[in-house]
Amino acid sequence: MAKPLGTTIGSMPITSHPTTEHVKAGTATHCPYCALQCGMIVAADEADGVVRNVSITPRRDIPANAGGLCQKGWTAGELLTNGERLTTPLVDGRPATWEEALDHAASRIAAIRAEHGPDAVAVFGGGGLTNEKAYLLGKFARVAVGTSQIDYNGRFCMSSAAAASIRAFGMDRGMPFPITDLAEADAVLIAGGNMAETMPPFIRHLTLMRERGGGLIVADPRRTPTAAAADLHLQITPGTDLALALGLLHLAIAEGYVDDDYIAARTTGFDAVRTSVSAWWPERVERITGVPVALMRETVRLLGTARRAMVLTGRGVEQHAKGTDTVTAFINLALALGLPGTEGSGYACITGQGNGQGGREHGQKADQLPGYRRIDDPAARAHVASVWGVDPAALPGPGRSAYELLDALGTRDGPRALLLFGSNPLVSAPHVGRVIDRLASLDLLVVCDIVLSETAAAADVVLPTTQWAEETGTMTNLEGRVLLRRRSVAAPSGVRSDLAVLSGLAARLGHPRGFPDDPEEVFEELRRASAGGPADYSGITYERIAEEGGVFWPCPSEDHPGTPRPFLDRFATPDGRARFTPVAHRPPAEDIDEDYPLYLTTGRVLAQYQSGAQTRRIAPLTEAAPEAFVELHPDLAERIGVADGERLQVISRRGSASGVARLNSTIRADTVFMPFHYAAEGRANLLTNTALDPISRMPEFKVCAVRLEKAA
């Protein structure tokens, strides 16, 4: 009998269904957190412009959650009534009117641009922004400011998987099939993902799969709740995921599980990959990864004999300086088994942030224009410029990637002003100590946020904005399904939408037209700008989303049904075939040594989300996960003389962070884990490495060398 994936972690419900007496009338919308974008009904009492008594009810008509929510979703109403909400603009720390704040920000931007050029002004976005915001932000940077210096925190999320998917399939859509297909699979391999904590309602689909007799395999250095419930746990040494994928493909070839007919009909490049993995015999891979040969053989057997199988990757394999190659290696395995583009099987990257998919499709990434077009493609530039009413030659080229942009701030050749929307890099960026210095060196920092986050607290200008349930806009979930997040409560007096901020700044910078603050008007322009691109939204309307419960892109016309499974007939490459690409394993950018003898890996916990700017202000979540901790093996704790609950100092070459010791006999004795949600001395990203993937420019969050000391 399959081990249950569980209904609780500790005392916290993963999913739950309300009884009918808990349901009251409200607005159908979506959760403010992860890329599942769970459906919910939001209802509230409002009097004198104040929102009270917010209730949350899960929706059953959204396949991603089908009536379930995690505790973050259940408590999301507290975001709307939180006493720490920003409602007044701040200029140099003092309250100001909106006109004063916008005038000050725009005049400083104009002066800096006039003295140092447009690239002296940078823009930084977020993977939680709606499609409308992401689109208008990219347009604002390139038209109203004229800067190439724009990127977003989604670069830290799944840029490696996006690069690998484009390389293999010609298109990046994280999950190129509906999430409900998982329930029909016979075997699922999750490499570097822990959905039981990061997106708990996802577990429902794996539970249905396992109740049918399917097998679950999880590759992870930690025995996470997801790994603990799997049939096989491949407990790898941190930073060796690529070697594992090469070894699995070697075994698939050697033991006859390769789908020769599929390879011949639908792919190119297999011979070179077959040759490249010939040296990755299982005993060698075991020495590097720590995964026993028997478990590797059983993994390949489960995947190779399954009628339908899935290979899924998450941040654990992507957030490395070799993340693109690692994801490519898992895609090579999936292609060799004949999975992608076949009914009920496939490869998928599990998107993390709420609009991680849509956020990178419409122009807030350094190298992209709307519709997932390349900014260095002349045809793409001409199309988008025609929609925007500008000369294609006036559009800037590619800018710096996220960390490179942050690292350049205030330097001789770098930006001197930064406008930041929907991100908190003073907690979420690698080597945070360096980023603190760079932000402090700016001539101007403008932050739009709902609370005084760690980054907002360092800003010259803070602009209080509306949040999820106070505004309407579209989100694209992990399946590539475009959803409508509806306004369901009134915004507090004194706040404005991000669209209104962009509109106001653009007008002050000489662009009074072309930057509307109405989300549906922005979406209508987005449709035109995306038309003909890989992420074609031109056939999607607010009305269709409302009627159909979401529409899958690409959708090139209003009579097109949308595309839930884009690769069934052909891949998005010029010849329609998927591409195998040979890749080689290499050690982490920073391996352990005598001075720093332990691997640090970072990740998430169930009760917190991203930088914690929202969730650390919600009482039930803070009670469940109040502070940073350091998970370590009891043998390691004994060696350094620390007991469970004592405070530890974790030290890397970049800085130090602290947390309480949490002893766990299932973690590797050479590895420690810290969650990255916390601020002050608990910031795990004070430690992490800034080594970048050469293709995706993803930093190596998931592994660096550290040592431990008992805190004073």
Please indicate, yes or no, whether residues 135 and 262 belong to a single structural domain of this protein. no
Find the range with the poorest average confidence among 183-197, 350-364, 501-515, 540-554: 350-364
Q: Supply 465's token pair.
A: 């904005």
Pairs from 626-629 (Cβ < 8 Å, separation ≥ 24):
627/659, 627/660, 627/678, 627/682, 628/657, 628/658, 628/659, 628/660, 628/674, 628/675, 628/677, 628/678, 628/681, 628/682, 628/683, 628/684, 629/659, 629/660, 629/661, 629/662, 629/674, 629/675
pLDDT at 480: 96
How would residue 51 be classed by pLDDT, with cut points 50, 70 and 90?
confident
CATH of the domain at 165: 3.40.228.10
* Selected residue with higher pLDDT from 409 and 49: 409
Please indicate, yes or no, whether residues 415 and 447 belong to a single structural domain of this protein. yes
How would residue 535 be classed by pLDDT, with cut points 50, 70 and 90?
very high
Asked if the model's pLDDT at residue 568 lies above 80, the reply is yes
CA triple 99-101-105, angle to 5 deg: 115
Pairs from 44-50 (Cβ < 8 Å, separation ≥ 24):
44/77, 44/80, 44/488, 44/489, 46/489, 46/490, 49/490, 49/492, 49/493, 50/492
Tell whether 702 is covered by a domain.
yes
Collapsing DSSP to helix, strand or coil, 621 comes out as helix
Answer yes or no: are the C-beta atoms of 661 and 673 closer than 8 Å.
no
Place of tokens 């409308």: 132
Place of tokens 């509306």: 466
Rounded-to-integer distance, Cα 35 and Cα 199, Å: 8
Q: What's the whole-number mean pLDDT along residues 78-98? A: 94
Q: What's the whole-number mean pLDDT along residues 386-415? A: 97
pLDDT at 614: 93
Q: What's the whole-number mean pLDDT along residues 657-662? A: 98
Q: How far is CA 710 from CA 2, 630, 654, 684, 707, in A?
A: 41, 12, 18, 16, 10
Please indicate, yes or no, whether residues 398 and 410 belong to a single structural domain of this protein. yes
Tell whether 593 is covered by a domain.
no
Q: What's the whole-number mean pLDDT along residues 257-275? A: 98
Tell whether 202 is covered by a domain.
yes
Residue type, 329: A
Rounded-to-integer distance, Cα 700 and Cα 705, Å: 12
Asked if the model's pLDDT at residue 3 lies above 80, the reply is no
* Residue range of the domain that includes 71: 8-81
Tell whether 47 is covered by a domain.
yes
Please indicate, yes or no, whether residues 172 and 291 belong to a single structural domain of this protein. yes
Please indicate, yes or no, whether residues 180 and 311 belong to a single structural domain of this protein. yes
Asked if the model's pLDDT at residue 16 lies above 50, the reply is no
Collapsing DSSP to helix, strand or coil, 445 comes out as strand
Please indicate, yes or no, whether residues 677 and 698 belong to a single structural domain of this protein. yes
Please indicate, yes or no, whether residues 20 and 36 belong to a single structural domain of this protein. yes
CATH of the domain at 123: 3.40.50.740
How many CA atoms lie within 13 Å of 637's alpha carbon, on the beta-carbon side?
Answer: 19
pLDDT at 502: 98
The residue out of 448, 481, 511 marking a domain boundary is 511
The residue out of 486, 511, 536 marking a domain boundary is 511
Q: Supply 699's token pair.
A: 């930093």
Q: How does pLDDT run across 121-152, given as a tens digit for each residue?
A: 999 999 999 999 999 999 999 999 999 999 99
Please indicate, yes or no, whether residues 321 and 193 belong to a single structural domain of this protein. yes
Q: Supply 512's token pair.
A: 């009074």
Q: How does pLDDT run across 333-357, given as a tens digit for each residue?
A: 999 999 999 999 999 999 888 898 9
Collapsing DSSP to helix, strand or coil, 309 comes out as strand
Q: How does pLDDT run across 594-647, given as a tens digit for each residue?
A: 999 999 999 999 999 999 999 999 999 999 999 999 999 999 999 999 999 999
Asked if the model's pLDDT at residue 544 lies above 60, the reply is yes
- State the average pLDDT for the chain: 94
Answer yes or no: are the C-beta atoms of 661 and 651 closer than 8 Å.
no
CATH of the domain at 684: 2.40.40.20
Q: Supply 566's token pair.
A: 């884009």
Asked if the model's pLDDT at residue 407 lies above 50, the reply is yes
Collapsing DSSP to helix, strand or coil, 182 comes out as helix
Collapsing DSSP to helix, strand or coil, 168 comes out as helix
* Selected residue with higher pLDDT from 82 and 280: 280
Rounded-to-integer distance, Cα 393 and Cα 220, Å: 47
How would residue 47 be classed by pLDDT, with cut points 50, 70 and 90?
confident
Tell whether 567 is covered by a domain.
no
Q: Supply 241's token pair.
A: 């995921």
Please indicate, yes or no, whether residues 147 and 235 belong to a single structural domain of this protein. no
% of residues, the chain, pLDDT over 70: 97
Contact residues for 98 (Cβ-Cβ < 8 A; gap 6+)? 89, 496, 504
Tell whether 518 is covered by a domain.
no
Radius of gyration of the chain (CA): 24
How would residue 501 be classed by pLDDT, with cut points 50, 70 and 90?
very high
pLDDT at 712: 80
Please indicate, yes or no, whether residues 164 and 151 belong to a single structural domain of this protein. no
pLDDT at 6: 44
Asked if the model's pLDDT at residue 48 lies above 90, the reply is no
pLDDT at 184: 96
DSSP 703: -
Name the residue among 445, 450, 448 with its Cα closest to residue 460.
445
- For the entire predicted model, the pTM comes to 0.95
How would residue 49 be classed by pLDDT, with cut points 50, 70 and 90?
confident
pLDDT at 82: 84
Contact residues for 197 (Cβ-Cβ < 8 A; gap 6+)? 9, 224, 225, 226, 604, 605, 606
pLDDT at 21: 35
pLDDT at 22: 37
The residue out of 295, 321, 349 marking a domain boundary is 349
Please indicate, yes or no, whether residues 485 and 505 belong to a single structural domain of this protein. yes
Q: How does pLDDT run across 430-442, given as a tens digit for each residue?
A: 999 999 999 999 9
Asked if the model's pLDDT at residue 11 lies above 50, the reply is no
Please indicate, yes or no, whether residues 456 and 394 belong to a single structural domain of this protein. yes
pLDDT at 18: 38
Could you tell me whether strands 473-476 and 481-485 are parallel, antiparallel, or unpaired per DSSP bridges? antiparallel
- Domain count for the chain: 4
Tell whether 113 is covered by a domain.
yes
pLDDT at 158: 85
Name the residue among 379, 368, 366, 360 with its Cα closest to residue 173.
360
Number of H helices, E strands in the chain: 25, 30
Tell whether 206 is covered by a domain.
yes
